Every structure is written in structure tokens, then in C-alpha cells.
């Protein structure tokens, strides 16, 4: 029986086979960059107001690309690693590397030395671009890998705090970083005459390596191609609210190292001629202040930002009337939360023409990322839906996700959503087994998410097959945390699950541990004290988004199957009883 394949109801745009740099920066004449005047602002530093125009960005990218070749002997196909919070330097480094034909792997700026070392080695990166604050971690990483300080420092390029190179404020570099090459230094070695070409079949070469955590614990390098990125930019334009040149502006708070921020803030707005105001990270007061200061019309967010907007006094303090679109992704958005924020903003702006639309989409790192978007006109009627399938993509809802995909879900019934199309990754780097498990021979990517589709072609995510915990859009693999916990001298066994927090609008990692010396934790007070010490100990071992914010519980034995597999369902049921309606985040103070 032929599989039941769903198509997009949206019109299909033209797709391209070329370098993403060519796609974004090609010029019709000397005054044009990517279809818009070169004098148009492209990126703006929120704090100082320092602005890079489209033409300046292209020139900076060509200069940095030449610097990579001349000063650092980088060649087409080499990989650089970027390890920094958001900054005005980010797009210059990223597009400069792409112009030179390099690949970029984007690392979580909160990674510790151990986590960074894995991505650095697995990706095959030769050079590391790091913020001033992150250089000590890089040095520790390279030291742990056996490099001398002299050799390590040759591989580090500092994304310095100073914006003098862009006409902004000059800030002295930290004394301990003197002697290191900076990204600004690389702008002084001439300029590429043109970008490296990736036309035709070459468009299927890898350009980005974002890392997606798996239930096996070790993150996997997702090979995203030029074709993936140029395609997702075009199909998103069909489903996303129309971005108008010289009218719209975006506020960029999502981390650029995440595929959601990388594509939707560094690539997509630029392709629409819309400037992005860059914030280093989300901070409620500054978020609202920047909307007022820069007359922001659209911001891409994650659900925890809406939690803040539902409560924070800054919403009342600043004039946010320019804002028309809040687009949520990376984690499920609840209908109740969307309505709560919408109602608050609506009551504040009585008499204003049009309400703020709170929209949701869906996608994964492996799908570059966006596959579904909800149209503006249906924001309220279809609240809770991830929207319509984007053009050029196909979808299936499969019941036997672990099998051959022979059983399709009945109409209106749940099934694992499989996606096929030009935005599906090339595969997992150095991991053919994982690639084979994720992508079928006929090109279907198995998302691991369970969805239903209604009679109007709208999809709803209802569950997840995979065991990954999603904390504020970041993936937290239980197995990785378990492996860290098992290195604790007083822990004999451990299991980690996600517990839902309505307060924080996210899942929180919660650990169950077995004490190696049960006689030491006989009383509840002893168990509580040990659990808190484990929570604190873990914070020194992992990135912030992996902290055990859902708590630590001491138990006698970890429930497992006969084959030794952790029975997480039993632990989830146990957690429900333990919490008994209490939000796990009740005692947690966390920042996005």
C-alpha cells in the first residue's frame, strides 16, 4: 500500500543551487547588495547603536575571508568553530568564513572545557573564534587536549568587545589576551575578489555544523548545506509574516549558535532587507527598552520569554506599540500562555490599529530548521498549532516509527511526523549509523515528535518519542547528565527525566540517584542535604541549560527493564506523585 504523503497548501517559490553567500549578497550594480540598497542597515549593536550596513557587511566579510586565507592559511573546506555570545562581530565572522569557502561549527557559548573539546575534535575545526570572556575556557580545552600555550594561542582568534573597527566605541582588550589575534586584525590583509562558488551540485556541500544532542548522550554534528539554507530562506518567506523593507526591524535575542537564531536572525531578515538589532542575551528590562528605542516591529522568541512578558513590570514601563509580531519557536508554546500575553498587550494598547500576533512554528536542527509556520490571520483561531507545512516539503504521520514506516496514522490520529524535502540535513558528521537511523533510504527524516493533522492542514505536536529534555529551546540529553552524575564519588546509579514547569513554560531536568553508601542517607534530612549537594556539584560540570533545575531525588534503586534500559515512564509517574501539583520551578531562580 502506498504511503500517505501530505503536501503543503502554500505556493512553491523558486529554489536556488548556489552558495548561501552568493544568494544573500549578489549585487545587480555597485549600489545594490542582495536586492536592497547597500546603505541599508543590516545589523545594529543594541547597547551602542553601532550599525553595519549591507555594503559594509559584504566588504567586512570579504576582508575577513582574505585574512583567514592570508594570515591563517585557511583553505576551502576547512572548519572554524565560533564560541561566543551574540555580538556585532558574529555576522562578520560567519559570512567571512562562508565567503572563503569554509565550514562553520557553532558552539554553545556556555559550554565548559569538556563539552567544547568534544565539538572541537568531532567537527575537525582548525581555528576557534571566541569572545574575550570565553578565551580562558578555550585555552583550558586546548591544554586538556595536550597543546602547549604557544601552540594553542595560534588557534584562537578573539572576537573582542571593541567595536572601533565598525565605527563604534573603542574598548581595551583584556590584558591577559594581549598578543592574540583578533577578528578585527583579520580585516587588514586585503579583500577577496569574490566569494567561493558552490553552484549546481556543489550547493549540497556542508556549510554549517550545529550540534544536536541525542538520547545516546553524545551530541551529533548536523551537516547543513548551502542548499538547505537557501531553500529554507525562500520557503519561510511564503509562510512568515511579510517583512517590509524600510518599515520592519527585528530584535535579536536568540543565541546565534543555535540553528533557530543563526538562520532566523543572521540570514532570513537580511534576505528581506530588514535590519536586526543584536542583544547579547535576553534581559526583560533591556528587551522592552530596545523595542521602544529602535521601534522594533518583530521579535523571535522562545516560550520562557512570554512567561516574563506576562508578568514583568517593564512591559508597563516602556512604549512597545511598534511591536506587531512575536514569533515563538524551539519549544512548544501553550495556548494559555499565548493568550495571557496577548491579552496583556492588548489591554495596554487600546485604540492601536491591530493587535500583537503571537505565532508559533516548528522545526529541528536537522530540518534547517523551519518546516511549519502558522499564518498571521490564523494566529488566534489556530492557537496551539504549529501551523501549515511549508512549500517544497512533504510530511507523513507514521505509527510504526521504529519500523519501516509501513503503517500510516488514520486521518485525525497521532503519528510520528516524518519530513522530506530540500531542507533536510545531509546527515550526521562522522556518524553513518545515526544518519541511517534518522533518514530513510527514500529521504524521510524521522523527527521523533508525535503530531496530528486536522481537516484544514494544520498540525499539532502532541508528544515526543525521543527522550530528549527541552529546556527553554535547548536540548538536554538525559544520558549525558547521567554519565556526569555517575562520576560523583557517592552516586552508584542515576537516571534523569524532564518534568514540566508551567511557571517557566519549559521542561526542567530532574535526577534520581542511588547513594553509593545508603547508610549515610537514612533520614529525609540527610537525603535532602545530599540531593542539594549533588545539584550544586553538577553545576560545576555542565553548561547552564543542563543544570538540574527540576531537583534531585535520592531513591533506593533505578527502575530498569530486563535488558537494563531505564524505565523513564515509571520515574515520570513517580515525579507526578512527588510534586503533587506543585510546580518544580517553585524554588528555582533561573535565567534564560
How would you write the pLDDT of the chain (592 residues) with one tens digit per residue? Answer: 789 999 999 999 999 999 999 999 998 888 999 999 999 999 999 999 999 999 999 999 999 999 999 999 999 999 999 999 999 999 999 999 999 999 999 999 999 999 999 999 999 999 999 999 999 999 999 999 999 999 999 999 999 999 999 999 999 999 999 999 999 999 999 999 999 999 999 999 999 999 986 545 688 999 999 999 999 999 999 999 999 999 999 999 999 999 999 999 999 999 999 999 999 999 999 999 999 999 999 999 988 788 888 889 999 999 999 999 999 987 777 777 888 888 888 877 766 767 889 999 999 999 999 999 999 999 889 988 999 999 999 999 998 756 667 799 999 998 899 999 999 999 999 999 999 999 999 999 999 888 999 999 999 988 666 677 889 888 787 878 988 898 899 998 899 999 999 888 999 999 999 999 999 999 999 999 999 999 999 999 999 999 999 999 999 999 986 556 788 889 999 999 999 889 998 766 544 4
370: domain CATH number? Answer: 3.40.50.12780
125: domain CATH number? Answer: 3.40.50.980
Lookup: cell for 544: 547552564
- Within a domain: residue 207? no
pLDDT in tens, 556-591: 999 986 556 788 889 999 999 999 889 998 766 544
d(CA 130, CA 138): 8
- Within a domain: residue 564? yes
Predicted local confidence at residue 478, as pLDDT: 86
Average pLDDT, whole number, for the chain?
92
Residue of 414, 402, 495, 408 lying closest to 459 (CA atoms): 414
Quickly count: other Cβ atoms within 10 Å of residue 77's Cβ: 12
299 with 269, same domain? yes
d(CA 568, CA 496): 8
Domain final residue pick, 466, 488, 517: 466
- Sheet strands side by side (includes 506-515): 491-501, 506-515, 552-554
Predicted local confidence at residue 322, as pLDDT: 94
Domain final residue pick, 412, 444, 466: 466
Sign of CA dihedral 19, 20, 21, 22: positive
What is residue 270's DSSP assignment? H
Q: Which residue range forms the structural domain that includes residue 11?
A: 1-15+227-466
- Within a domain: residue 592? no
476 with 528, same domain? yes
d(CA 384, CA 369): 19
- Within a domain: residue 214? no
Residue owning grid cell 512568515: 240
Radius of gyration of the chain (CA): 24
Residue 451, CA distances (Å) to 77, 412, 437, 510 in order:
38, 9, 20, 26
Predicted local confidence at residue 402, as pLDDT: 63
188 with 244, same domain? no
252 with 106, same domain? no
- Stated as kind and residue range, the H or E segment containing 129 is strand 127-131
289 with 178, same domain? no
442 with 518, same domain? no
- Within a domain: residue 218? no
Residues 6+ apart with CB under 8 A from 559: 495, 566, 567, 570, 571
- Within a domain: residue 436? yes
Reported pTM: 0.86
Residue owning grid cell 529551546: 473
Residue 145, CA distances (Å) to 151, 222, 521, 527 in order:
11, 23, 38, 38
Predicted local confidence at residue 480, as pLDDT: 83
Q: How many domains does the chain have?
A: 3
Residue 406, CA distances (Å) to 185, 356, 375, 403 in order:
57, 43, 32, 8
75 with 172, same domain? yes
Residue owning grid cell 499565548: 338
d(CA 319, CA 310): 16
Predicted local confidence at residue 462, as pLDDT: 80
State the maximum Cα–Cα separation within the chain, in Å, rounded to a whole number.
78
Lookup: cell for 36: 536592497
Lookup: cell for 414: 497521532
SS3 call for 65: helix
Phi, psi of 432 (to 5 degrees): -60, -30
How many residues in the chain?
A: 592
Residue of 499, 477, 460 lying closest to 334 (CA atoms): 460
405 with 521, same domain? no
- Within a domain: residue 206? no
290 with 358, same domain? yes
- Within a domain: residue 185? yes
172 with 247, same domain? no
Residue owning grid cell 523513564: 568
What is residue 11's DSSP assignment? P
Determine contact, residues 387/374, Cβ cutoff 8 Å: yes
Amino acid at each position: 500500500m502506498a504511503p500517505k504523503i501530505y503536501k503543503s497548501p502554500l505556493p512553491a517559490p523558486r529554489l536556488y543551487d548556489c552558495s548561501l553567500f552568493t544568494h544573500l549578497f549578489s549585487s545587480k550594480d555597485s549600489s545594490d547588495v542582495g536586492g536592497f540598497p547597500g546603505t541599508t542597515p543590516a545589523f545594529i549593536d543594541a547597547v551602542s547603536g553601532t550599525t553595519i550596513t549591507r555594503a559594509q557587511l559584504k566588504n567586512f566579510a570579504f576582508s575577513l575571508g582574505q585574512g583567514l586565507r592570508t594570515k591563517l592559511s585557511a583553505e576551502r573546506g576547512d572548519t572554524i568553530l565560533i564560541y561566543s555570545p551574540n555580538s556585532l562581530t558574529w555576522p562578520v565572522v560567519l559570512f567571512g568564513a562562508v565567503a572563503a569557502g569554509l565550514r562553520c561549527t557553532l558552539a554553545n557559548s556556555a559550554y565548559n572545557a569538556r563539552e567544547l573539546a568534544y565539538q572541537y575534535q568531532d567537527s575537525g575545526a582548525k581555528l576557534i573564534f571566541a569572545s574575550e570572556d570565553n578565551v580562558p575556557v578555550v585555552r583550558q580545552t586546548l591544554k586538556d587536549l595536550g597543546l602547549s600555550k604557544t601552540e594553542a594561542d595560534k588557534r584562537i582568534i578573539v572576537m573582542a568587545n571593541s567595536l572601533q573597527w565598525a565605527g563604534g566605541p573603542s574598548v581595551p582588550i583584556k590584558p591577559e589576551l594581549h598578543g592574540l589575534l583578533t577578528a578585527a586584525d583579520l580585516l587588514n590583509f586585503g579583500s577577496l575578489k569574490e566569494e567561493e562558488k558552490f553552484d549546481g551540485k556543489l550547493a549540497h556541500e556542508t556549510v554549517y555544523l550545529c550540534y544536536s544532542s541525542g538520547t545516546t548522550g553524545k551530541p551529533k554534528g548536523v551537516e547543513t548545506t548551502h542548499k538547505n539554507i537557501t531553500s529554507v530562506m525562500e520557503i519561510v518567506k511564503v509562510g512568515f509574516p511579510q517583512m517590509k523593507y524600510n518599515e520592519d526591524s527585528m530584535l535579536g535575542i536568540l543565541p546565534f549558535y543555535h540553528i533557530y537564531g543563526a538562520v532566523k536572525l543572521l540570514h532570513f531578515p537580511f534576505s528581506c532587507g530588514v535590519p536586526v538589532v543584536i542583544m547579547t542575551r535576553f534581559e526583560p528590562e533591556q528587551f522592552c527598552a530596545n523595542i521602544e528605542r529602535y521601534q522594533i516591529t518583530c521579535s523571535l522568541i522562545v516560550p520562557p520569554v512570554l512567561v516574563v512578558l506576562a508578568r514583568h513590570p517593564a512591559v508597563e514601563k516602556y512604549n512597545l506599540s511598534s511591536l506587531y509580531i512575536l514569533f515563538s519557536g524551539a519549544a512548544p508554546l501553550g495556548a494559555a500562555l499565548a493568550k495571557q500575553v496577548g491579552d496583556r498587550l492588548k489591554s495596554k494598547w487600546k485604540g492601536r490599529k491591530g493587535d500583537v500576533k503571537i505565532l508559533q512554528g516548528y522545526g529541528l536542527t536537522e530540518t534547517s530548521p523551519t518546516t511549519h509556520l502558522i499564518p498571521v490571520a490564523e494566529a488566534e483561531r489556530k492557537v496551539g498549532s504549529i501551523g501549515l507545512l511549508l512549500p517544497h516539503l512533504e510530511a507523513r504521520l507514521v505509527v510504526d516509527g521504529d519500523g519501516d514506516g509501513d503503517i500510516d496514522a488514520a486521518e485525525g490520529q497521532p503519528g510520528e511526523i516524518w519530513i522530506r524535502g530540500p531542507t533536510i540535513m545531509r546527515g550526521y558528521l562522522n556518524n553513518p549509523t545515526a544518519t541511517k537511523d534518522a533518514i530513510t533510504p527514500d529521504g524521510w527524516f524521522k523527527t521523533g515528535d508525535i503530531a496530528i493533522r486536522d481537516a484544514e492542514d494544520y498540525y499539532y505536536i502532541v508528544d515526543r518519542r525521543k527522550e530528549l529534555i527541552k529546556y527553554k529551546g535547548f536540548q538536554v540529553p538525559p544520558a549525558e547528565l547521567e554519565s556526569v552524575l555517575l562520576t560523583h564519588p557517592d552516586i552508584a546509579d542515576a537516571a534523569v527525566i524532564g518534568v514540566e514547569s508551567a511557571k517557566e513554560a519549559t521542561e526542567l531536568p530532574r535526577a534520581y540517584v542511588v547513594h553509593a553508601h545508603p547508610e549515610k542517607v537514612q533520614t529525609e534530612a540527610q537525603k535532602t542535604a545530599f540531593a542539594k549537594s549533588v545539584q550544586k556539584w553538577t553545576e560545576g560540570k555542565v553548561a547552564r541549560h543542563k543544570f538540574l533545575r527540576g531537583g534531585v531525588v535520592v531513591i533506593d534503586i533505578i527502575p530498569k527493564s530486563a535488558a537494563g534500559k531505564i524505565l523513564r515512564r515509571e520515574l515520570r509517574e513517580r515525579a507526578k506523585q512527588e510534586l503533587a501539583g506543585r510546580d518544580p520551578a517553585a524554588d528555582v531562580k533561573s535565567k534564560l
